[in-house]
Structure formats: C-alpha cells, structure tokens
Amino acid sequence: MKIAVLGTGGGARAHIAKLAELGHEVHVGTRAPKATLARTEPDMMGTPPYQQFLAEHPGTGLHTFGDAAAEGDLVINGIDGHNAVAALSAIADQLAGKTLIDYAVPFVYNPDIEHPWPTPWGAMPVLDPCDSDSLGEQIQRALPRTKVVKAFVTQEQATVVDPKAIGGGDHTMFVAGEDADARQQATDLLTSYGWNDVLDLGGIVAARGMEMYAHMHSAIGFALGFGTHFGVKVVR
Amino acid sequence: MKIAVLGTGGGARAHIAKLAELGHEVHVGTRAPKATLARTEPDMMGTPPYQQFLAEHPGTGLHTFGDAAAEGDLVINGIDGHNAVAALSAIADQLAGKTLIDYAVPFVYNPDIEHPWPTPWGAMPVLDPCDSDSLGEQIQRALPRTKVVKAFVTQEQATVVDPKAIGGGDHTMFVAGEDADARQQATDLLTSYGWNDVLDLGGIVAARGMEMYAHMHSAIGFALGFGTHFGVKVVR
C-alpha cells in the first residue's frame, strides 16, 4: 500500500521503519527536505539526524508535505500539535478524499500559567485546545474533505508499532473519527502492527479524552521510572 | 477504624456499605440529615432514598458534614465536585490533621460552550478546573492542615469497592497526594477492598490527569455499551 508519513520525529520514524518493514511504499513528508537531510547533529529531543535513519532504512527519502501526501492512499500525521492545523490546511487538496490518522498531543509550555505544584518531571505543559475541543476535531474541521482518525496517542511511540513488546501485547489501542470506514482502515493498519485489541470509540469528539489522557500517561511513566515501558488495557 | 464518608450519593454508598461490611465504624455526613432522611423518592440519578439504604445497612445513620468528619480518623469525600471546596472549607477544623480521600470529577454542564460535535452519550460536560489545575489541588490548597489524596476516580463506583468483579481484579488503581503516609493509608484501604495493583503517582498535581481521564472513561463506557463494566490496567 502507498502510505504517506508527515514528519520525521521519533514517532514518525517508528511508523516509517515499521511500514517499510511490512513492505509498504512509504512517502515521507517534511517541511524543508534539504534542510532536514543536511542536519548532522541530534535534534533537541535527542533524535539522530535523518540522514543516519535514511542510511539504515533505504527507500525512505524525503519529500515536501504536499508531495508526500499526494502519493499516499493513507496518510499518517506526525507533524507536531502546535503546527499541525496550519501545515495540513496548506495541503488540503493533496489530502482530499483520504484517511488521515493523527496522533499529536497539543501540548504547549506556557510560562505565564502559574502551577500551584511543580511536577516531578519538570515543566508542566498544558493542552491547547482542551476539554471543549481537541486537536483531532480542529484538524477535521480544517479538512472537511479528509477522513480524520485519532489514534496511537495513548501509547508510547515504540509500542504503537510493536505492541507485543509490552505484556505480550495484551493491551488496548483506541481509534476515533467521523467515518466508520476510515476507523476500520486505521484498525486494519494497527492489526498489521500486531494489535489484538483495538477499541472503536466512535466519533472524533472522543479525541478530547484521548489527548487529555496525556497527563495520566506522563504521570504513570514517571511513577514507573524512566525507561519502564507500559501499555494500558481496558479490562472487561 | 473510624471512617467518615461525606455524601450519600451512589459512590458514597458503595464505600459506606463496604466499610460497614469490613467492620469499620462508619460516620456518614450530609448537608441536611433530616431532609435527606425524609426523602421517599429516588433522586435525579435514580438513587433510592437514603432511608431505604439505611434499613439495609444498620449503623449508617446520618450526621452533618462537620459531625461526621469530627468522628472519623480517615475521611472519604463524596461531595459532588461543584460544591466540594466550599463544603469542605466550612469544616476545615474537623478535617485538620486527617487524611481526606477525594474522588470527585469537577464536571460542569455549560450550555454556553458550543461543541463542534455532539457526543453520543448526550450533553458534553467540561471540567472546571482543568489542565493547569485540578479539584484535588484546589481542595488541598483550601485545606492546608489536611492530607488530601486523590483516588478512585478512574474506575467505576461499584468496581472501586469490588475490584475482583472485573477481570478477576487484575487492573490498576491510582493514588496521588503530597503526603506519602496519607497515600499509603489510601493504598491500605484499597488493599482491604481487594486491590492488588495500586500505583502511587506521587504529588497531588497528578490529580489533573486522573480527573481529565473522565472523558476517556465516558467514551470507553459508551463504546463497550451501557451496562458493560470495565477497569483499566497499566500493563508493564
């Protein structure tokens, strides 16, 4: 299948590598391909330069967001939450009629907000939008011709493409979106990644809960200790 | 042990019944004991009148919030989120030096907020406070002499006091609060309820994530279908 991945961060790379391994034709999009390929140092998150990743994963060369999206029959959005709506709106024509899976958390670090208690893991981000809206809903409103599905966001990046690494794979992935066929497409992709328990939450409004779960995810990760990988299972 | 439960709603009754069954001396507090006992019809949530509950659970008579709190060595707050800070502040002296376990979600139904998509389960509430603060933190700030622990809130009310009813009890409860001894007290109570996996999330700031998880809880419950009980397990 022809799948476009927009973004070159850690989460995007996990999908790019896994999709290539599964034999898909992967089209990787980035804002400025030449600049990204010219980098020789790790980024601020410690992610190695893309040229190193490319050397290890042949066939994952970089294109612009628009060129990559135009080639994909299915599109995965790995553009960071703060920039996603603007960057995706600019390529609305290339995304028209397609399923777009989004996993971004709209975290912002706002130094003007006073937090009564510090978090043990440092600066406490807030979500924008939050509670009465979500990034998933914003993207769907910005792209009315695209079938937006929120997924992946409640699990660690490495776990999303390798669920069996945690507890034998017995944990739960969620999908939400307005279009049932698009939710099924996302579910099929997840099944190919190894997921056995994909829970369909229905409409895109459920993206609120999925994004707002980010604080729990941070707290659980910190409580278990850095480097302890975990998943979340809906037991019923 | 002498335990005070503030509130007579469904969640409070689950604790009252379980604590009485475990042999604790339970002191139940309500805003207006005589008025609550005079009721003969179910409330708006469909909860039967308290006089019926009392007939089935002898020794759980009603007192004022202050009188109940004064008797308890440990206090469970079941006052609804909207009224909790004011009601608890009014009895700060009776709560001084004690551990107070809070499980409220600060949901408000604000008809002025326009939601781009309706939720399948009807009116979409929002949380106030949310994201940069939480009800757990607000209560702790209002009661500096009390050791506030947030707990219970991520699970169904019946499951909190009967974890084995779901998946054999193999799921996770969270506790958060500034005082480690108070978190341990809450953990010990949960162990007596049958919980095997209580994850200590550290400081009260983690109450944000626990309260904000409420939207996920609603979405999961709706996806599974009304009446399907579930728990959430941190798999690691």
CB contact under 8 A, B216 and A213: yes
**A222 neighbourhood in chain B, CB within 8 Å:** 201-202
> Long-range contacts: A83-92, Cβ < 8 Å, 24+?
A84/A135, A84/A139, A85/A135, A85/A138, A85/A139, A85/A142, A87/A6, A87/A31, A88/A6, A88/A139, A88/A142, A88/A143, A89/A142, A89/A143, A90/A65, A90/A66, A91/A65, A91/A66, A92/A142, A92/A143, A92/A145, A92/A146
**What is residue B28's three-state secondary structure?**
strand
- Going along chain A from its start, the domains and CATH numbers come out as 2-224 (3.40.50.720)
- Interface contact flag, B117 A204, Cβ < 8 Å: yes
Q: List the single residue in A with minimal CA-CA distance to B221.
A: A201
Each residue of B105-141: pLDDT tens digit? 999 877 777 777 777 666 678 999 999 999 999 999 9
Helix (H, G, I), strand (E, B) or coil at B200: strand
pLDDT at B123: 66
Cα–Cα distance between A12 and A71 in angstroms, integer?
Answer: 17
Contact state of B236 with A231 under an 8 Å Cβ cutoff: yes
The one-digit pLDDT tens for each residue of chain A (236 residues) are 999 999 999 999 999 999 999 999 999 999 999 999 999 999 888 899 999 999 999 999 999 999 999 999 999 999 999 899 999 999 999 999 999 999 999 998 777 777 777 776 666 789 999 999 999 999 999 999 999 999 999 999 999 999 999 989 999 999 999 999 999 999 999 999 999 999 999 999 999 999 999 999 999 999 999 889 999 999 99
Work out the minimum CA distance from A34 to partner chain B, whole angstroms: 38
pTM of the predicted structure, to 2 decimals: 0.95
For B168-204, write each residue's pLDDT tens digit: 999 999 999 999 999 999 999 999 999 999 999 999 9
pLDDT tens across A63-109, in order? 999 999 999 999 999 999 989 999 999 999 999 999 999 999 999 87
Contact assignment for A132 to B113 by CB distance below 8 Å: yes
Instruction: Report pLDDT for A166.
Output: 94
Q: How far is CA A156 from the centre of its chain?
A: 10
Question: Which chain A residues are closer than 8 Å to B131 by Cβ?
Answer: 126-127, 130-131, 212, 215
pLDDT given at position B44: 81
Cβ–Cβ below 8 Å for B228 and A236: yes
What ipTM score was computed for the predicted complex, to two decimals?
0.94
CA angle B208/B134/A106 to nearest 5° reads 50
pLDDT at B21 over 70: yes
Q: Are strands A231-235 and A198-200 parallel, antiparallel or unpaired?
A: unpaired
Alpha-carbon distance of A174 to B204, in angstroms, equals 28
Residues in chain B within 8 Å Cβ distance of A213: 209, 212-213, 216
- Is the CB of B235 less than 8 angstroms away from the CB of A230? yes
Length of chain A: 236
